[in-house]
Chains A and B, each alone.
Chain A
Amino acid sequence: MSRIGVFVCHCGENIGATVDCAEVAKMAKDFPGVAFSIDYKYMCSDPGQTLIKEAIKEHNLTGVVVAACSPRMHEPTFRKVAAEAGLNPYLCEMANLREHCSWVHYKDKSTTLKAAELVRMLVEKVKLNTPLYPIKVPVTKTALVIGGGIAGIQTALDIANSGHKVIMVEKSPSIGGHMSQLSETFPTLDCSQCILTPRMVEVAQHPNITLYTYAELESLDGFIGNFKATIKLKAKSVDHSVCNGCGECSAKCPIKKIPDEFNAGLGTRPAIYVPFPQAVPNKPVIDRDNCTYFRKNGKCGLCEKICPTKAIDFSQKDEFITVDVGAVVVTTGFDIKGTDFFPEYGYGKYKDIITGLQFERLASASGPTLGEIRRPSDGKIPQNIVFISCAGSRDPAKGIDYCSKICCMYLAKHAMLYKHKVHSGKASVFYMDIRAGGKTYEEFVRRAIEEDEVNYVRGRVSRIYEKDGKLIVKGVDTLLNSYPVEIEADMVVLGTAGIANPESESLAQKLHISYDQYHFFAEAHPKLRPVETNTAGIMLAGACQFPKDIPDSVSQASGAASKVSALFSQNELTRDPLIAFVNKNTCVGCFMCQSVCPYLAIEKEKIKAKDGSVIREVAKINPGLCQGCGTCVALCRSKSIDINGYSHKQVYAEVMSLFNERSLEYV
């Protein structure tokens, strides 16, 4: 015989102002199986918790219903209370009188009745609850960091410094990411390479970090604490254990006209190359798509002949390795729209309209002009530069809806750097709003306007065309009543929108993490869980979640690293046992549940006869992977899958309690 206790919480005014909690408690006393019921102002407070504990002991309760706020908020609290009083924690359930009742209805008799019925449903459910015990899973204390930009570097170093192993995978031949391409960084104008390269070296030399460059994640299986990652090591065609990085091969390679990715297309590189002189590792790879040896069946091979250490190995093949990891941090960064996206700015046909990233390369000491601002078309020093912010951003009609966040700041920096290098030059910035939220950011922009005399024009540029070697920029100044502005510029820099990496969708599918409509990876909660994904054990950091500047990327990276370290501080993970299980007797093994499971938790199990022969195959749920979403339960035709804590029986009892025992007097 069930002896259920009902505890109705006023939640201060939240529930008490709309629902007559004392009346709910009184009505609950008469529900079949209820041995005790009471209301209290704050059930989650210390006196409230004591009330529950004492009632469990005094009335020998077999189940508890706390009618209060959302279980998302306080279910763990009240389950702990039940456990402290000697009851199995999973015999305690919550009826949500706040979101499901008081917050959505006016004060009325029927509101109180609804509250009572919500309690009745839960009472019927708790009667069928069974004691459950947490699941324990071991933890592999190695983290996989995907992406070797500043976010990945920071994450890897933080995890490695807390004493755990890290495996870093970077798809390009060197780590460093976009930050290594930048010239100087706002708001302090310190040199990007000077603050980044020592950290790149640290990653390469750290005893706890294994670095795989020119590698990609092939697949990820498993679950929190126990992932299995397959990594594809692309063929470098150079034996890095032998190569001494002398650079002879790159200097002699006859193919020289390949657009240089590191210089954002402004320079060229050979087919055997190191992306930039400060690269880590500082050893070349062969770009097989452009190498004559691979394109013309073994002709050329010059690098092989001249290599002093015989490190060139044309026969290398892509290699696949499988590693066990306990957590994954995704730090794959972002991309920017190219100038070819904008019809009004010439679809990329004007050489002197460049992106912000290309300007970074022009301004960088390691760039194609060695830091001199020279325009791409003829190498002249531009005397008049126009910067256009929101190129593609905040443009629901033909670009993207969101603000790319970093462009206001870097365009101010660009204008400032230009003025520092070309004192006689004129710089104008067209903008919609100046978004300079951040420590000393506003001061930085003011400095550009006031000290460096950058001409800020609030308005959009409608068209740019070329005339007599000049770029005619036609815009308006909306602060002067939309007065038309026309500037004859030598060069135009577009602050193009930051967008998700083209591979982000396929990567998200490999990792089974969610992504938003723009293909940026989605965090578990925008405010309270910003570095975790909805898939347990997979974290995010940096611009793969949304365009971010360096300080934000680094802080998020440290946040992700601390989440990983917290996970690795335990030898075993404890999980709620509210997971699905299969009735082997009735499962017919159609495995439709397997294709519907978003967590890949369903496996095939062979049922064998005594002689070892297989009688049939049935579904089996991996308790480590199952998240208890219940999708398979809904799909299974023979109802052979059920779920702990939300069984068919319990749900049925909840629903039927509304139909069978409704108190008609109130209706």
Chain B
Amino acid sequence: MATDESPQEPRPEGVETVAAEDVDAADILGSAVERREDPSLLTGDAEYTDDIQLPEMAHVAILRSQYAHARIDGIDTDAAEGMDGVVDIYTADDLDVSGNVPTAWELDTLREVDHPLLAEERVRYQGDAIAVVVAEERYQAHDALDAIDVDYERLDAVTDPTEALDEDAPVLHEEAGENTAFEWEIGDAEATDEAFAEAGTVVDLDVTNQLLIPNAMEPRAAVADYDPGDDELTVHMASQNPHVHRLLMSGVLDHPEHKLRIRAPDVGGGFGSKIHHYPDEALAAWTAKRLERPVKWQATRTETYLTDAQGRGHETHGEIAIDDDGNIRGLRIDTKANLGAYLSTFAPAVPTYLYGTLMSGQYEIPAIHCEVTGAYSNVPPVDAYRGAGRPEASYIVERLVNRAADAVDADPAEFRRQNFVDPDDFPYETPVAVEYDSGDYEKPLDKALDLVGYEGFRERQAEAREEGRYLGIGLSCYIEACGLAPSELVGALGARAGLWESGLVRFTPTGTVTAACGTSGHGQGHDTTYAQIVANELGVDYEDVDVKEGDTADLPQGMGTYGSRSAAVGGSALVKGAREVVEKAKRIAAHQLEAATEDIEFDDGDFHVAGAPDRSMGIQEVALEAYLAHDLPDDVDPGLEATAFYDPDNFVFPFGTHVAVVEVDPETGEIDFENYVAVDDVGNQINPKIVEGQIHGGIAQGIGQALYEGAEYDDNGQLTTGSMQDYAVPKSSHIPEMETDSTTTPSPVNPLGVKGVGEAGTIAAPQAVVNAVVDALEPFGVEHIEMPLTNERVWRAVDERAGATGGDD
């Protein structure tokens, strides 16, 4: 092994992990502790929903529409009912609950439509649920699906948002009368028109931000169990937000919320797809209740492709106005957003408040106007997918900024720098209703340019072109918004829930600590990072803190994990809870040490009397006293725990610069990465290794969108990319080595100074890659290529331009 003389470039050095026992307690926050959840995940010890086996458990399979749009004239289940092992079969007529899947976000102009658990007279996408089969064994349930005879009357389908808005398009929801789901705008139209009228240069661009299929490693699943004795309904399911699922499902099933327990065991990824309330898990729960028998529903990979809420799906016309000094004066965006067949949980928020509010990017743009029309179409519901609105915003902004720099003959890095919001201007209020908390945009730009060797690049590019090799460099200076808050604001914007988080911190009498949070990790390493946060606050050993998440029985309330909110909002809730615990412990310690509470100081887990360090008591000793309760102050109750609710004052706004360097072969359309550099500023880092992992994974998914992925439908709305053979999820060999680094601009919004990192890569990467490819093909006059940049599309773009100009010489 030591003699390995690989000629390859050495791998960029990443962050080194450390074992928890090698970290000083005082340094635990911010250290790259090994993820404590990994041994169980790596050894197969983890428990996913499908691993759960309950006595007498039956299996549920769901019959799905083979058409994207059809009327149902009849369903004959007779033959299927007689099959071996079949327990029962249900259609919409059997459902005795309201069964309407709600959306959790409203907009003034929103046309809400019914979304029944099982299709009644219409199916609106290929995969729409029609019937539930319950059988003794899973295969029997699936076999019986084929024996159900559905009498369909096929209808014309529409899958493209622009076409869906055409007045001749087939209408999905008769009660809505048309496919327009909403019309929304943000910014100042008049001021923007004026800015464009006065601008020296205007550049425009049409882009499609294609539909993506989330492809979590673990398909969705539910195991439901009902106890008729006390009316307790328990649903183990692959969820990113058990409390939100409990709230919504209690309404859908008319089951009292306090008698419904949602538990997410280990969850194999989500990327947003496990936020939403789908019909399927609720159908499993309803079936368990109806039969008074546990049931399991495990989605197949095909069902994942057909029914998981998809992401993106925008068609956008963007324009940017620049004055003669190279300053951006205005931005105008018109987007048609595909919402799919029904309104999913956060669907109305994603292409509006998570999109239009990010249009200022890292730039000072005096006038912005963004209008979005949401369209129903015959594809699965479209909702949040890693990044959710922000990648779409960042993509159009950064593509336009790149073209603007070209149009005014400016260097793309310097053009960006010139237009950045000045570091002294924070908090910075944009023309699109948000206030950036903190930022210092030149720092990551400079670091990234340095790492990528920007200075010498143009020369190298020119030399390579002489040799017939086409190098290109692409910048992406992105902005992200995480930890959507405060609740009062999101309520005003249409959320039908608050976006606070709750954290419980509880000492046991022996001094160990349970920390529970209303977020619900599904791969992010919360067990590790939350333990680091709580150990740091309490001054106890990291190993003494156990973290619980994902079970509505463990914690009274919570809002879940999405939108890169867990550290900023959930972590802060735990800080708040821990500080309340320390306050109580301090009063007990003061009493025990016979001092006034004001005279007690707390550091590194010890309470001591100011000026008398010998008179001290560890917090774990205090915990024992709190539970012994033999000698507590009169006004202090026994026990040592606190449940805190934390509602942030604002969002947090991470940022950074990603740079891709590619070589494109115009003859074959192949794209090779020469380098990929990411410098992200996510505020303070709780665990740099976890930050690095999130950045890597996010970039991989972002490159997936840029080069490989895309849900495609034929004219009838049939998914033609319905498997991993037809939908290219990038393999490790498709992803370049990355060089990652960071700058740190703490957020003033929360006590940890953190921002959020879960989505940075998917937000930043696509336009870095597309800008690089377009830069490489500049000699051919290629100005834009739609994602995914497949070899064929790249080749065609070159070929068409060559044809248009009579050859490329």
Do A and B assemble together? no
Q: Could you list which residues of chain B lie within 8 angstroms of chain A, going by C-beta atoms?
A: none
